[in-house]
Structure 1
Amino acid sequence: MYNVHTGIVTIPVTGTYIFSFQFEDWVSGQMIARLFVDGDHIVDGVVFPADGRSEQAGNTAILVLRQGQSVWVEMGDSGRLYGDPKYYLTSFTGALLQ
């Protein structure tokens, strides 16, 4: 279940899941988004915007997870991806595959 106040997904049932995130940046010299499971770093997405041009990146992971594990995405130094209007051109999605 996704918590809109924390940006954390708590896995409801054990199984194979797909998680994907996409983001855009046009300000910083580099923006990194990282997918975590229970605090373990799984995959990154990185953009290097220049000259005010917008750049997009993202990543996808297929994971076997146990009930109760936590999954989230962190954006740069600003913390988990949720509710920050600065990152309105982002997405984070997941689904149970089996």
Structure 2
Amino acid sequence: MRTLIFIAFSLYHITVAQVDDGSSAGSHGIHSEYSCSSNILSELKELRSMVAEQKTVLDELKHVIGNQCSLELHSELKELKTTVAEQKVKLEELQKQIAGSDKPNVAFSASLFGEGGQTIGGYNSEVTLKFQKVFVNSGNAYNPSTGIFTAPVKGVYYFGFSAFANAKNSMGVHLRKNGQQIVSTYDYNSNHKDVNGANRAILLLEKGDQVYIGLWTGLKIFDSYNSVSTFSGFLLFHM
């Protein structure tokens, strides 16, 4: 009986010891688990802090880049505006040049007869010479039927003329603008030889102004196939 009680008592202590050991072991496991979780949480906290810091840096970087881009874009836009303004000026100048080069084609040249040999003149009053053999009449501003050039546009024109007289005749002609004498050429024959002369002028004409060559009263002019008596003119530039 005593033996059974001893055995039972021994078994009881062994069981209690195992339970205590188990409890201690369990407590140690829980503690280990808790320490592990704390470390993870700490690391997570640190990571979150780092992420927050990186986000702040990234936002600042974006702001800086954005400002730099804005400055660059502003600079490029300014340069582009300057280029456009320069091109606009050049375009306007080119348009003016094109407009200036688009002037009417006005030019004529003619001789008095241009064939055979003929002398006219000795009249009691001045007459307008009709230069009938036309070499060129671009723009048709010169009328060979009347001998009058009529300005088709306002502008600056060049005119030139020549005159010849043979035998004992004296020669004298002048260029007139709207009836006003501008320049002349003349030669009085004193030795029965041929005489000749020429002159030229640059005139500012309004549209419709008339220019022609007048033969002086009592004087004569000669022309032949050599075309020694001529009248020419052309537009230098219009205004």
Give TM-score scaled by structure 2 length. 0.36
Question: Could you tell me which amino acid in structure 2 is paired with residue 97 of structure 1?
Answer: L
Counting only pairs closer than 5 Å after superposition, residues 11-50 of structure 1 correspond to structure 2 as 11-26=151-166, 27-28=168-169, 30-50=170-190
Q: Equivalent of 1:87, from 217, 222, 236?
A: 222
User: Which has a greater percent of strand?
Assistant: 1
Question: Could you tell me which amino acid in structure 2 is paired with residue 95 of structure 1?
Answer: F
CA-to-partner distance for each residue in 1:42-61, whole Å, 9 max, x for gaps?
11101122333112101100
Structure possessing the higher relative contact order (Cα contacts under 8 Å, 6 or more residues apart): 1
Question: Could you tell me which amino acid in structure 1 is paired with residue 205 of structure 2?
Answer: L
2:211 maps to 1:71: yes
Question: Could you tell me which amino acid in structure 2 is paired with residue 31 of structure 1?
Answer: M
Structure with max Cα Rg: 2
Question: Could you tell me which amino acid in structure 2 is paired with residue 18 of structure 1?
Answer: Y
Cross-structure match for 1:83: none
Contact 2:177 2:209 in 1 (8 A): yes
Question: Could you tell me which amino acid in structure 1 is paired with residue 236 of structure 2?
Answer: L
Contact 2:151 2:208 in 1 (8 A): yes
- Matched-pair identity in %: 31
Where does structure 1 differ by over 6 angstroms across 4 or more consecutive aligned residues? none
Q: Report SS of the residue matched to 1:97.
A: strand
Contact 2:163 2:171 in 1 (8 A): no
Q: Equivalent of 1:57, from 197, 204, 227?
A: 197
Please, what is the CA RMSD of the aligned residues? 1.5
Q: Number of residue pairs matched?
A: 90
Q: Report SS of the residue matched to 1:87.
A: strand
Structure 1 window deviating more from structure 2 (10-19 vs 42-51): it is 42-51
| CA apart distance, 1:87 | 3.0
Which blocks of at least 5 consecutive residues in structure 2 are unaligned? 1-140
Q: Report SS of the residue matched to 2:153.
A: coil
CA-to-partner distance for each residue in 1:25-84, whole Å, 9 max, x for gaps?
1232x3210110001111110112233311210110001101100000011227xxxxxx
User: Which has a greater percent of helix?
Assistant: 2
Give TM-score scaled by structure 1 length. 0.83
Distance 1:2 1:45 in 2: 21
